[in-house]
């Protein structure tokens, strides 16, 4: 093989790998449906969502529990809401809403990996 053929081959492989690894961001419509359901339960999710990252991470603000107890169970509950709306590639992070309001410091108090293969 000559250098030109090798270069074309490497470019083609790079393009194929990039295409394979690229994931579409979560559509705004799905985000809106999830946000509406979370907002319909303000006693559980008082400031939702705080932040989305292309659908890959959903950050939720919640009240902290006493003695530093984590809110992983709350994050796992949110996985159920995501799955109900066919959102299967998201990690949920729960942040202390009081810290955010007081000092704009994002203190992680819980998390759940909600990624799963689409049914």
pLDDT means over runs of 10, the chain (119 residues) = 68 59 75 90 75 84 85 94 93 90 89 83
Residue with tokens 């979370």: 38
pLDDT at residue 94, rounded to an integer: 92
pLDDT at residue 33, rounded to an integer: 92
Residue among 53, 95, 103, 49 nearest 72 (CA): 95
pLDDT at residue 79, rounded to an integer: 95
What does the alpha-carbon distance between residue 88 and residue 7 come to, in Å, rounded to a whole number? 37
pLDDT at residue 92, rounded to an integer: 94
pLDDT at residue 8, rounded to an integer: 61
Residue with tokens 């003695």: 67
Residue among 98, 67, 71 nearest 79 (CA): 71
Assess contact for 62 and 76: CB atoms under 8 A. Answer: no
Parallel, antiparallel or unpaired: strands 57-62 and 91-96: parallel
Where do the H-state alpha helices sit in the chain?
A: 3-21, 28-39, 72-84, 97-103
Where do the H-state alpha helices sit in 49-93?
A: 72-84
């Amino acid at each position: 093989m000559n250098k030109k053929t090798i270069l074309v081959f490497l470019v083609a492989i790079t393009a194929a790998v990039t295409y394979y690894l690229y994931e579409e961001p979560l559509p705004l419509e799905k985000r809106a449906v999830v946000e509406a359901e979370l907002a319909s339960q303000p006693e559980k999710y008082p400031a939702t969502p705080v932040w989305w990252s292309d659908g890959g991470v959903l950050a939720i603000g919640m009240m902290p529990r006493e003695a530093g107890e984590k809110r992983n169970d709350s994050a796992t509950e949110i996985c159920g809401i995501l799955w109900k709306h066919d959102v299967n590639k998201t990690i949920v992070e729960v942040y202390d809403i009081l810290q955010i309001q007081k000092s704009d410091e994002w203190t992680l108090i819980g998390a759940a990996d909600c990624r799963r293969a689409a049914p």
